[in-house]
Amino acid sequence: MSSQIDHLLDETRRFAPPAEFAADAVATAELYEEAQADREAFWADQARRLLHWHTPFTEVLDWTTPPFAKWFADGELNIAYNCLDRHVEGGHGDRIALLWEGEQGDDRRVTYAELTDEVKRLANVLTDLGVGEGDRVAIYMPMIPEAIAAMLAVVRIGAIHSVVFGGFSADSLRFRIDDAGAKVVITADGGYRKGKVSPLKPAVDLALADRNGSGAQETVEKVLVVKRGGNDVEWTHGRDIWWHDVVPQASSVHEAQAFGAENPLFILYTSGTTGKPKGILHTSGGYLTQAAFTNQVVHDIHPASDVYWCTADIGWITGHTYVTYGPLANGATQVIYEGTPDTPHPGRWWEIVQKYGVTVLYTAPTAIRSFMKIGRSVPKQFDLSSLRLLGSVGEPINPEAWMWYRKIIGGKTAPIVDTWWQTETGAIMISALPGVTETKPGSAQVPLPGISVDVVDEDGQHVGNGNGGLLVVTEPWPSMLRGIWGDPERFKETYWDKFASQGYYFAGDGARLDDDGDVWLLGRVDDVMNVSGHRLSTTEIESSLVGNEAVAEAAVVGASDETTGQAVVAFVIIKESYLKEHSAEGLAQGLRSWVGEQIGPIARPRDVYIVGELPKTRSGKIMRRLLRDVAEGREVGDTTTLADTAVMSVISAQVK
Ligand code: WT7
């Protein structure tokens, strides 16, 4: 089968960088030239410019044993020192690091001096608990300042954190604790979600109870608990410790020790479509270099004046790189929010933007589409004029969602950066540079300076402009994963074997190059459909559907079909205002023709199902595998990784 993915959708809108923005932008076009001239020297410059090195490095990249890269290997630094102490020592101790907003409307402002103080105390506590260099600490917490302090305290003493998203179950937590062999778990009694306390400590208790069954050896010695939810918790004496009993009392004197640049920093588990979750391993110097660099040039961070808000939870890579590490390394002021976007009212996010005067907002297409579904009247009630830059991450953003984001949230002026990257890449890889790049709705556009990507066919040959294929990264990059925890073979197999002779990293995504050579992501290669021998991307048909004024969100899958091999089956969410006025049959019929007219008869869905929700993972990605089951009339497969496990029965019922 050819790997060529047919290109169907034409998007021709272009937005030049506003002159005012460009005049003050951090990024400049020269960055591309500098990186082009000498890629390694470019990254070495960024590492020296953006970070403090206790011991300067003399080596840049060691790629003698691919795919195991070493960056800045003989240099030494302390990650927490770079994110905290040096800003205080540089006279910015009074600058606010965290503008924390609780779901209930309670708030806290934490300065760099205060956060540094807290992290030093906690580092002393962890050391007293016997945590040292290379030990693993699991963090299972709500979005509260202590969660960020916990990450930084762990890495300050050279230990490795594994943050587990607070929405994961006890089983998921147990797997992650066991796989990493965590010595300590840091958690909270609970945190606020959807108007009530969602318990965390009870899940930790469950995860640690009865280990005989799992066959795993008990590695956890202590559980440190922040009081946040006020919910009742059970207590295992000798194991459990209240944060408030030990951290405030601990000494705030703690000198950051230097660790090697390749010292492991964290493990973050990511689940693919098959197999157990993979513990993605990141290390220190290269990771922080690319985190700080991309946050600075892509999010255009001016630390003295910006109020930055990345809406991701620290349980995801976006929360690691663009809440904890990048912005704090840059000395930025940022908002963090504990709760859900619609609690206690659907305008909660926009109220927060207004309250803090947020200037840079970084969020996911799934959130944008859910706001589109409710309608513009909600954000219109708030003053969003402080926003000067918008970012998107996690999925392809359909051109119409991009346009809505620009118009309704960005006041028709704020540039939008669509940023492509992965848990594995550690930091942004493909994105426009705001103030430099002319933007195109729906395209991630260009690899960042110092990053090399290509779109290739099954043989690893460049497909050329105008064609679709497989997205690969062709050269090692500073924040690349260094492996899968405990499984070097799986690391090679999963990412490097496919293009072993070229030495390319295969990302699992389909992409297309337009006539300018810009990259358009087409979705996961596993989701590509084959209709009458044409390979069609989910993204383009979904974008066409979202381009219809009645549609807020769409998911498309290929279902087996006697005549065409596979047929396109669409599941769509209709905007609330249209649902009232139109019949479901009328809408479905209209949408089939719409796609047929917009991108051609080959892409016209055989079936269009109008549904109220789509099955999503807890990080907001649509699980097309489950929709394929419904479309083919099969029993629906494993739903345990869904954010809302009830969704599939509702959809199955709606389809019947
Ligand atoms: C996968 C990685 C990147 C941090 C959050 C998700 C998809 C991500 C984009 C984008 C199109 C995107 C890809 C990628 N993806 N960003 N801007 N346009 N697709 O991290 O959970 O590791 O997921 O998300 O399919 O491979 P992740």
197 contacts 231 by C-beta, under 8 angstroms = yes
Of the chain, the percentage scoring pLDDT greater than 90 comes to 85
Q: What is the pLDDT of residue 353?
A: 98
- Which comes out higher in pLDDT, residue 638 or 176? 176
The per-residue DSSP string of 186-229 comes to EEESEEEETTEEEE-HHHHHHHHS--TTTTPPP---EEEEE--S
Residue of 422, 423, 425, 472 to test ligand 1 pocket, by largest number of atoms within 8 Å of CB: 422
Please identify, by atom number, the ligand 1 atom nearest to the C-alpha of residue 418: 17
Indicate whether 249 pLDDT > 90.
yes
Q: What is the pLDDT of residue 575?
A: 92
Q: In this structure, which topology does domain 528-655 adopt according to CATH?
A: GMP Synthetase; Chain A, domain 3 (3.30.300)
Q: What is the pLDDT of residue 600?
A: 84
Task: Say how far apart CA 633 and CA 646 lie, in whole Å.
Answer: 18
Indicate whether 273 pLDDT > 70.
no
Q: What is the pLDDT of residue 329?
A: 98
Average pLDDT over residues 255-266: 98
Collapsed DSSP state (helix, strand, coil) of residue 615: coil
- Ligand 1 center–CA 78 separation, angstroms: 29
- Ligand 1 center–CA 606 separation, angstroms: 28
Average pLDDT over residues 26-44: 98
- Ligand 1 center–CA 291 separation, angstroms: 16
Average pLDDT over residues 264-277: 86
Side-chain-facing half-sphere of 301: CA atoms under 13 Å? 26
Which pLDDT band, with edges at 50, 70 and 90, does 506 fall under? Answer: very high
Average pLDDT over residues 299-303: 98
Q: What is the pLDDT of residue 213?
A: 58
Which pLDDT band, with edges at 50, 70 and 90, does 641 fall under? Answer: confident
Q: What is the pLDDT of residue 211?
A: 64
Average pLDDT over residues 544-565: 93
Average per-residue pLDDT for the chain = 95
Where are the strands (E) in 338-427, listed by range? 360-363, 389-393, 416-419
- Ligand 1 center–CA 610 separation, angstroms: 26
Q: What is the pLDDT of residue 253?
A: 98
- Ligand 1 center–CA 212 separation, angstroms: 37
Task: Say how far apart CA 116 and CA 111 lie, in whole Å.
Answer: 8
453 contacts 438 by C-beta, under 8 angstroms = no
- Ligand 1 center–CA 590 separation, angstroms: 31
Please identify, by atom number, the ligand 1 atom nearest to the C-alpha of residue 392: 17
Q: What is the pLDDT of residue 544?
A: 93
- Ligand 1 center–CA 471 separation, angstroms: 12
Indicate whether 613 pLDDT > 60.
yes
Residue of minimum CA distance from atom 20 in ligand 1: 422
Indicate whether 51 pLDDT > 80.
yes
Read off the pLDDT of residues 360-385 as tens digits, 9 standing for 90 and up: 999 999 999 999 999 999 999 999 99
Read off the pLDDT of residues 125-148 as tens digits, 9 standing for 90 and up: 999 999 999 999 999 999 999 999
Q: What is the pLDDT of residue 264?
A: 98
Residue of minimum CA distance from atom 6 in ligand 1: 394
Average pLDDT over residues 395-414: 95
Which pLDDT band, with edges at 50, 70 and 90, does 214 fall under? Answer: low
Domain ranges of the chain: 528-655
Average pLDDT over residues 255-276: 91
Which pLDDT band, with edges at 50, 70 and 90, does 110 fall under? Answer: very high
- Ligand 1 center–CA 393 separation, angstroms: 6
578 contacts 568 by C-beta, under 8 angstroms = no
Q: What is the pLDDT of residue 564?
A: 86
What percent of the chain is helix, strand and coil (3-state, nearest 5)? 30, 25, 45
Read off the pLDDT of residues 313-346 as tens digits, 9 standing for 90 and up: 999 999 999 999 999 999 999 999 999 999 999 9
Residue of 290, 310, 393, 402 to test ligand 1 pocket, by largest number of atoms within 8 Å of CB: 393
- Ligand 1 center–CA 529 separation, angstroms: 19
- Ligand 1 center–CA 419 separation, angstroms: 8
Least confident of 71-80, 170-179, 203-212, 534-543: 203-212
Indicate whether 272 pLDDT > 90.
no
Where are the strands (E) in 122-171, listed by range? 136-140, 160-163
Residue of 298, 368, 420 to test ligand 1 pocket, by largest number of atoms within 8 Å of CB: 420
Please identify, by atom number, the ligand 1 atom nearest to the C-alpha of residue 420: 17
Indicate whether 437 pLDDT > 60.
yes
- Ligand 1 center–CA 396 separation, angstroms: 8
Indicate whether 1 pLDDT > 50.
no
- Ligand 1 center–CA 247 separation, angstroms: 37
Please identify, by atom number, the ligand 1 atom nearest to the C-alpha of residue 431: 17
Residue of minimum CA distance from atom 12 in ligand 1: 395
Please identify, by atom number, the ligand 1 atom nearest to the C-alpha of residue 421: 3
Indicate whether 123 pLDDT > 80.
yes
Indicate whether 14 pLDDT > 50.
yes
Q: What are phi and psi of 186, to 5 degrees?
A: -110, 125
Which pLDDT band, with edges at 50, 70 and 90, does 3 fall under? Answer: low
Collect all residues with Cβ–Cβ distance below 8 Å to 12 and sequence separation of at least 6.
none
Q: What is the pLDDT of residue 563?
A: 86
- Tell me which residues have their CB closer than 6 angstroms to ligand 1: 270, 317-318, 393-396, 418-423, 444, 507-509, 521, 524, 619
228 contacts 145 by C-beta, under 8 angstroms = no
Which pLDDT band, with edges at 50, 70 and 90, does 532 fall under? Answer: confident
Please identify, by atom number, the ligand 1 atom nearest to the C-alpha of residue 523: 25
Please identify, by atom number, the ligand 1 atom nearest to the C-alpha of residue 430: 17
Distances (CA, A) of 142 to 227, 344, 356: 11, 17, 21
- Which comes out higher in pLDDT, residue 217 or 221? 221
